[in-house]
């Protein structure tokens, strides 16, 4: 049941012939700037390429979205990293695919084995024609097509120490425990980042060893927090109080520095100080008793401090495991799964195969092995008993090969590779175990995936992954089954970095058509229909009641809330399951919506965005967000809303009647704006435009500020004795127009 999920048939793919050298490596067939790389050439390049030279070549058009998350420095570090991925079954190819899209310096894929039938259920770059061919060689060209900036080579020989020395990161999949320990020990001693990834049916395992001194430059990738200060005590420790309009957002252990503090100026531009949070509006900073008296003002700014982590080698970590919890509802399973995976290695060593699917005898043997391992080292289970039933389930499904599980574990493993290369984001430290046992069907219930009719909405980054997984599990690949995907967008060059079904030659073509054609190659039996429609009221004649009644479910892969809510409403109306998902940088969300069982997508929402009062925007801005909102309001008030009203006035004969039904003040404002745009303030020449801009500048940056200071002088004291311009209120200064100031004129 957990074996082959894909219906396969023969179809041809042309593969460029490759030749093996004496070491067993094949020529690399990725082309970069017209050159063909061999693995020998790539090995030489690793030692001769100037890191500064490679780091200057970042294609912003291709990597734009990734740059928003990682930044230039991290991207440059990644472009100097060479990576080895060993094992080209489903998990290995998933990791390799993601690493190539990420943009490392060079990737080598390794496998000594030949493709088998059961590989086809998760290895999306193998076909029936590749059976009995080396997996690494068969996958090489298709992987190389993903990113022309990343040379891809294959290697089919033994993983010797001499060969491993050329890499900064080594990833092992589908390897024996002895091989993992041998290579892991070598990598640990050579300061080569080392990752083990494995999947067995519905179970997954990850291990990371980044050396004894690995520096994390930025643990979370978030923008540094800032807070406006209202008071600082002279004490040991000193207490910093922030304005009470919002939480300061700091955590104990964070580091901060200060600026614009008046009075206690010793804090300005100080070296980063570790803080201890007192409450959401205050924190302690250490001894301030010898500092000057605090007067007013000041901003506390978070400083991202590098953290140095110590990783144990695989041999040590097996005996003293440290787990990263993947599901807080299953925290008691980590120790048992740690032993169960070791027991599987011993089972394969003893019997040269994994336990038979749902074989009770083999399951009993695996339990016996696991019990012996736990008796030898009871500390792994924290003195608690082994969960024998969980070990049995591991045995029952270990031979299974499911694309969604390899996609999940492979995605995390690839992210760990990027962390190893860049030092950005906190790495896995050190073991992670995952299971999806809730996917096991109830007794006497069948799930005819081949006969399902599903509708993914969107063929972008998430949509491509959904369709790949749907194709590999055979969803809609049988008689009566189908997948109907719709996406109104065309492919852009920046999509190629994340949406792996597309190639450079597909730019400007429709996403849904190209994605459908790509997954048909992965599974020729797939019944997939591509639409190019926007989902909304205007397409209700296409996505009718009959259309929805024929569906078994909908999978949203959308990029806006409006479309999500619309599809959610239709699924509620027609009582269809909905899979909802989204990503934001390295974060993601997923929601399963089942009729009559769970709440709908629209039943809950994100917390409301912070409202910025108009008076704060116009008179007392104190944060970057305030200036951005002010600029947006200015733009819409000057160039968007008046133009829209003028167009409505010119095109809609009933515009005035509709406007007069509004409140008197609002109606007058709209009609006055139309009159000024068409007559009173209408520029007649370029000089009029310049004069308008000059008057606007004078009003915003001089006159309004002078009026504000006239009403509230810089030294005004409130009845409470506190200066008016203190706390979040920052005293402005009027500007004098200088025609020779280029920045003012621009």
Q: Catalytic positions, please?
A: 615
**Side-chain-facing half-sphere of 471: CA atoms under 13 Å:** 28
What is the Cα–Cα distance from 406 to 604, expressed in whole angstroms? 31
What is the Cα–Cα distance from 432 to 325, expressed in whole angstroms? 6
Sheet of strand 255-259, all strands in order from the earlier edge strand to the far edge: 273-274, 255-259, 299-303, 226-232, 239-242, 282-284, 276-279
What is the Cα–Cα distance from 96 to 102, expressed in whole angstroms? 10
Element (H, E) at 263: none
Structure tokens at 733: 């200064």
Tally Cβ neighbours within 10 Å of residue 201: 26
Tally Cβ neighbours within 10 Å of residue 622: 17
Structure tokens at 526: 């797939």
Provide the angle, in degrees to the nearest 10, between the axes of the packed helices 135-144 and 90-102.
30
Beta bridge partner(s), residue 108: 84, 153
- Per the listing, tokens 């397409």 go with 539
- Per the listing, tokens 């982590």 go with 309
Contact between residue 193 and residue 420 where contact means Cβ atoms under 8 Å apart: yes
464 in helix, strand or coil? Answer: helix
Element (H, E) at 55: helix 51-55
Buried b (16+ CB within 10 A) or exposed e, 20-29: beeebbbbbb
Closest listed residue to residue 114, CA positions, set 156, 177, 152: 156
What is the Cα–Cα distance from 728 to 231, expressed in whole angstroms? 11
DSSP strand E in 141-291: where?
A: 152-155, 169-173, 193-200, 203-209, 214-216, 226-232, 239-242, 255-259, 273-274, 276-279, 282-284
Would you say the C-alpha torsion 443, 449, 451, 455 has a positive or negative sign? positive
For residue 334, count CB atoms less than 10 angstroms from its CB and return exposed for 0-12, middle for 13-18, buried for 19 or more. Answer: buried
Which residues have a Cβ under 8 Å from the Cβ of 97 and sit 6 or more positions away? 143, 146, 410, 414, 500
Closest listed residue to residue 462, CA positions, set 606, 584, 553, 572: 584
514 in helix, strand or coil? Answer: helix
300 in helix, strand or coil? Answer: strand
Per the document, the length of the chain is 746
- Per the listing, tokens 């069982």 go with 597
Q: Are strands 169-173 and 152-155 parallel, antiparallel or unpaired?
A: unpaired
What is the Cα–Cα distance from 66 to 75, expressed in whole angstroms? 9
Would you say the C-alpha torsion 545, 550, 556, 558 has a positive or negative sign? negative
Q: Are strands 553-556 and 578-584 parallel, antiparallel or unpaired?
A: parallel
Max CA-CA distance within the chain? 92
């Amino acid at each position: 049941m957990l074996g082959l999920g894909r219906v396969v048939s023969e179809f041809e793919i042309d593969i460029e012939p490759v030749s093996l050298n004496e070491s067993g490596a094949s020529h690399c067939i990725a082309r970069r700037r017209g050159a063909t790389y061999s693995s020998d050439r790539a090995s030489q390049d690793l030692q001769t390429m100037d890191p500064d030279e490679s780091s200057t070549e970042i294609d912003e058009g291709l990597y734009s979205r990734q740059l928003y998350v990682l930044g230039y420095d991290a991207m440059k570090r990644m472009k100097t990293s060479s990576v080895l991925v060993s094992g080209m079954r489903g998990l290995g190819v998933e990791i390799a695919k993601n690493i190539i899209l990420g943009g490392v310096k060079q990737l080598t894929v390794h496998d000594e084995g030949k493709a088998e039938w059961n590989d086809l259920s998760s290895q999306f770059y193998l076909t029936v024609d590749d059976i009995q061919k080396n997996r690494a060689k068969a996958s090489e060209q298709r992987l190389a097509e993903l990113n022309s900036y990343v040379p891809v080579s294959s290697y089919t020989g033994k993983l010797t120490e001499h060969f491993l020395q050329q890499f900064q990161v080594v990833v092992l999949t589908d390897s024996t425990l002895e091989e993992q320990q041998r290579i892991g020990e070598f990598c640990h001693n050579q300061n080569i980042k080392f990752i083990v990834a494995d999947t067995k049916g519905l179970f997954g395992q990850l291990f990371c060893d980044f050396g004894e001194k690995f520096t994390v430059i930025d643990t979370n990738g978030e923008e540094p927090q800032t807070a406006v200060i209202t008071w600082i005590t002279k004490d040991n420790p000193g207490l910093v109080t922030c304005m009470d309009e919002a939480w300061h957002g700091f955590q104990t252990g964070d580091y901060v520095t200060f600026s614009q503090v008046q009075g206690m100026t010793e804090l300005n531009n100080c070296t980063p100080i570790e803080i201890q949070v007192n409450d959401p509006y205050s924190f302690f900073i250490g001894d301030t008793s010898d500092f000057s008296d605090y007067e007013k003002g000041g901003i506390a700014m978070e400083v991202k401090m590098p953290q140095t982590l110590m990783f144990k080698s695989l041999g040590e970590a097996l005996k003293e495991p440290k787990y990263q919890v993947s599901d807080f509802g299953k925290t008691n399973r980590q120790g048992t799964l740690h032993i169960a995976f070791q027991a599987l290695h011993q089972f394969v060593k003893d019997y040269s195969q994994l336990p038979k699917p749902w074989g009770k005898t083999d399951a009993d043997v695996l339990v016996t092995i696991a019990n012996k391992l736990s008796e030898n080292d009871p500390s792994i289970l924290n003195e608690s008993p082994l969960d024998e039933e969980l070990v049995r389930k591991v045995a029952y499904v270990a031979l299974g090969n499911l694309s969604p599980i390899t996609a999940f574990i492979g995605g995390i493993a690839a992210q760990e590779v990027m962390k190893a290369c860049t030092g950005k984001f906190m790495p896995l430290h050190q073991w992670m175990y995952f299971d999806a046992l809730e996917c096991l069907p109830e007794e006497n219930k069948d799930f005819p995936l081949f006969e399902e009719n599903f509708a993914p909405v969107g063929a972008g980054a998430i949509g491509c992954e959904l369709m790949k997984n749907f194709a590999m599990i055979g969803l809609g690949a049988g008689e009566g089954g189908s997948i109907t995907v719709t996406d109104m967008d065309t492919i852009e060059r920046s999509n190629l970095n994340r949406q792996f079904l597309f190639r450079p030659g597909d730019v400007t073509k429709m996403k849904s058509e190209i994605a459908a054609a790509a997954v048909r190659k992965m599974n020729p039996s797939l019944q997939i229909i591509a639409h190019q429609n926007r989902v909304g009221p205007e397409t209700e004649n296409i996505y009718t009641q009959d259309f929805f009644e024929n569906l078994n479910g909908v999978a949203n892969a959308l990029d806006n809330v409006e479309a999500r809510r619309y599809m959610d409403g239709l699924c509620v109306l027609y009582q269809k399951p909905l899979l909802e998902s989204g990503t934001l940088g390295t974060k993601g969300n997923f929601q399963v919506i089942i009729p009559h069982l769970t709440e709908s997508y629209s039943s809950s929402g994100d917390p409301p965005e912070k409202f910025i009062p108009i008076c704060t925007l116009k008179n007392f801005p104190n944060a970057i967000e305030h200036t951005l909102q002010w600029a947006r309001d200015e733009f819409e008030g000057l160039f968007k809303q008046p133009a829209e009203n003028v167009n409505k006035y010119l095109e809609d004969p009933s515009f005035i009647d509709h406007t007069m039904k509004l409140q008197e003040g609002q109606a007058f404002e709209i009609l006055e704006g139309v009159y000024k745009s068409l007559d009173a303030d209408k520029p007649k020449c370029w000089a009029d435009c310049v004069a308008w801009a000059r008057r606007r500048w004078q009003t915003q940056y001089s006159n309004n500020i002078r009026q504000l200071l006239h009403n509230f002088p810089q030294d005004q004291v409130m009845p409470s004795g506190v200066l008016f311009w203190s706390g979040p209120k920052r005293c402005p200064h009027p500007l004098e127009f200088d025609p020779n100031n280029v920045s003012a004129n621009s």
